[in-house]
């Protein structure tokens, strides 16, 4: 009687690594991220960008599955605008924001621009790896502090600027300083400063540029 040959189990091919593009304007940070991601084994960094414009160009040319995007990128377009341009393209990759900034305004702008996830740089490497894989599948990924802020925003409607505050926002958008705004609106500089503080609180920002950016996002400027 001939022996029955042993059955050789079929080899299941390993899944292809996630194709990733890294965008950060600091060379040292990029180098650290590349070294960290290389240790994951199932993530392939296909390119690195030092500006928003370069990220948009490389995303179109290299066809990554995920773009790891910083928000503050120095000169040129910021990470929010780069995200908007990348996600607007056909067959766009998913964008996973990786930043140190967790203000309400930054989170709202990034998600509104099409980001799939929002991760803080304080997260552990394992959390970053898992977030990249989740983002590649189109799943929303939020750091716990960010998720808490998003839930708070959903539960409580954002306070709206008053008519006077909208007037001051319009002046800010034109690049006017406090003294010029005071003269244009016939109020004191101290009153302008008071209104600016209230505007910053309502929009979740701490700079004039941030106030203008969020006002444009919310279409508050006439």
**Residue 190, token pair as written in the block:** 């101290």
How buried is 185 (Cβ within 10 angstroms: 0-12 exposed, 13-18 middle, 19+ buried)? middle
* Tokens 């960290």 sit on residue: 36
Higher pLDDT, 155 or 28: 28
- 83 Cβ contact list (under 8 Å, min separation 6): 67, 69, 95, 97, 110, 113, 114, 115
| 3-class DSSP assignment, residue 187 | coil
Alpha-carbon gap, residue 25 to 32, rounded angstroms: 13
Which band of pLDDT confidence, cut at 50, 70 and 90, is reported for residue 75? confident
CA distance linking residue 142 with residue 99, whole number of Å: 12
The average confidence (pLDDT) of the chain is: 88
Mean local confidence (pLDDT), 165-185:
93
Query: Do 105 and 125 meet the contact criterion of CB atoms below 8 Å apart?
Result: no
- Separation CA 76–CA 92 (nearest Å): 21
Task: Name the percent of the chain lying above pLDDT 70.
Answer: 91
Half-sphere exposure (CA, 13 Å, Cβ side) for 169?
26
Rounded to an integer, what distance in angstroms lies between the CA atom of residue 56 and that of residue 39? 26
pTM over 0.85: no
């Amino acid at each position: 009687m001939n022996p029955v040959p042993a059955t050789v189990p079929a080899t299941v091919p390993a899944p292809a690594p996630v194709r990733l593009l890294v965008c950060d304007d600091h060379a040292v940070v990029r180098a650290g991220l590349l070294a960290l991601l290389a240790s994951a084994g199932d993530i392939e960094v296909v390119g690195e960008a030092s500006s928003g414009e370069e990220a948009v160009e490389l995303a179109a040319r290299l066809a990554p599955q995920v773009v790891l995007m910083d928000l503050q990128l120095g000169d040129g377009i910021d990470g929010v605008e780069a995200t908007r341009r990348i996600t607007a393209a056909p067959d766009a990759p998913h964008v996973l924001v990786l930043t140190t900034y967790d203000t309400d305004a930054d989170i709202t702008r990034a998600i509104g621009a099409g980001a799939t996830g929002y991760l803080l740089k304080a997260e552990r490497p394992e959390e970053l790896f898992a977030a990249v894989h989740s983002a590649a599948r189109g799943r929303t990924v939020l750091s716990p502090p960010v998720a808490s802020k998003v839930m708070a925003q959903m539960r409580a409607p954002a306070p709206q600027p008053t008519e006077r505050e909208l007037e001051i926002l319009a002046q800010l958008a034109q690049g006017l300083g406090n003294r010029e705004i005071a003269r244009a609106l016939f109020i004191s500089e101290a009153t302008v400063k008071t209104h600016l503080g209230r505007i910053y609180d309502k929009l979740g920002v701490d700079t004039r540029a941030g106030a203008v950016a969020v006002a444009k996002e919310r279409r508050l400027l006439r």
